[in-house]
Amino acid sequence: MKNKIENQRFSVWKLNRISNKGISPLIATVLIIGFTIVLSALVITWGTGLFKKTVSSTEELSEFNLLCTTGINFEGTAQYKDGGQIIETLLSNRNEKEIYGFHFTVRDKENTLPTKNFVTDPAIAPGTEEVIAPAIGSRNLPAFSTKTYEVGLGNGGYELIDVRPIVQLESGAKRVCGDNPQAVNVKNAAPA
């Protein structure tokens, strides 16, 4: 019986010793190295994605600025027709780059009348009125060409039309060049 009790004490002592021992230092080191590698991979993946996104957006912005400042050169004249109901704008592209449409802002010199905005592509500026002519599908202005655009006003009194070209980036996105619109005087200004 005494031998049996001592065997049980030895078994309990052995169990306590095993359970108190913990993780071996070698296994702990391997686990720490593994966690470090996984964490490093996650940080590198995130950092690479952030870097690529930043480079892409910076590249697109610089392409847009370059197109708007040096890639666009056009001239225009505007006049009323149909008794002041429509402004007809004749625009000439003087550059080798195609212009993918226009954004028009019609206003008077004293800013007493509300401004009216028109666009050749309604997807670019949702909620903006669409030009009357030319028809959809032929609103781009190819290099070294001239085209007439018409905006319907409903009333006269407007003396200026600010013209902003729409450019297409390499990605296919279209954007309005908005910093320096070209102001075109409207001839035969109809009374308000």
CB 44 within 8 A of CB 52: no
List the beta strands (DSSP E) in the chain.
74-81, 86-93, 102-107, 116-119, 129-130, 146-152, 160-168, 174-176, 182-187
63 and 98 together in one domain: no
Domain that residue 94 falls in = 74-187
Q: Does the residue 32 lie in any domain?
A: yes
Q: Does the residue 153 lie in any domain?
A: yes
Does 101 score more than 70 pLDDT? yes
**What count of other Cβ atoms lies within 10 Å of the Cβ of residue 141?**
25
56 and 115 together in one domain: no
Q: Does the residue 105 lie in any domain?
A: yes
CB 189 within 8 A of CB 160: no
Query: What average pLDDT does the structure give for the chain?
Result: 82
12 and 101 together in one domain: no
Q: What is the mean pLDDT of residues 23-45?
A: 92
Output the CA torsion sign for 137, 143, 148, 150: positive
Q: Is the pTM value of this prediction over 0.85?
A: no
CB 130 within 8 A of CB 149: no
Q: What is the pLDDT of residues 136-165, one digit of tens each?
A: 667 888 999 999 998 887 777 788 889 999
Q: Does the residue 162 lie in any domain?
A: yes
Task: Give the residue from 69, 95, 120 where a domain finishes.
Answer: 69
Task: Give the residue from 69, 94, 123 where a domain finishes.
Answer: 69
How many domains are contained in the chain? 2
